[in-house]
Amino acid sequence: QVQLVESGGGLVQPGGSLRLSCAASRTDFGKYTTGWYRQAPGKRRELVATITSGGSTNYLDSVKGRFTISRDNTKNSVVLQMNSLKPEDTAVYYCYLMAFREYWGQGTQVTVSS
């Protein structure tokens, strides 16, 4: 069983920044693709950003240039740096790990509002 624990969500004004972190309990974390999804009220869960074991990244078009995903395999962690936040970024953000099956964190709320 793999546990993913997210932190860093909260309330921020438009244009502000937040940094989401996710720590995985799996020690071979570095071998697998990981990333972040989000789900806004009344909407389907959508991919925000992923990063492969080799460091290749993929982003949702609407966050390109504003969000940056990175990983630290020595700490079994993945970070999502979110800048220039917009109200439409408001959602619950979930950490994700694909290690033979999907693993999900419990989610962290991000609210962008003035």
Q: What pLDDT shows up at residue 111? A: 98
- Asked if residue 82 has pLDDT above 90, the reply is yes
pLDDT value at position 1? Answer: 80
CA dihedral 38, 110, 108, 77 (to 10 degrees): 80
Neighbouring C-beta atoms of residue 28, cutoff 10 Å: 11
What is the pLDDT at residue 22?
97
Work out the pLDDT band at 8, boundaries 50, 70, 90: very high
Would you state the pLDDT for residue 72? 95
- The answer to whether the beta carbons of residues 40 and 25 sit under 8 Å apart is no
SS3 17: coil
pLDDT at 53: 95
* Cα 53 from Cα 22, distance rounded (Å): 16
Q: What is the pLDDT of residue 46?
A: 97
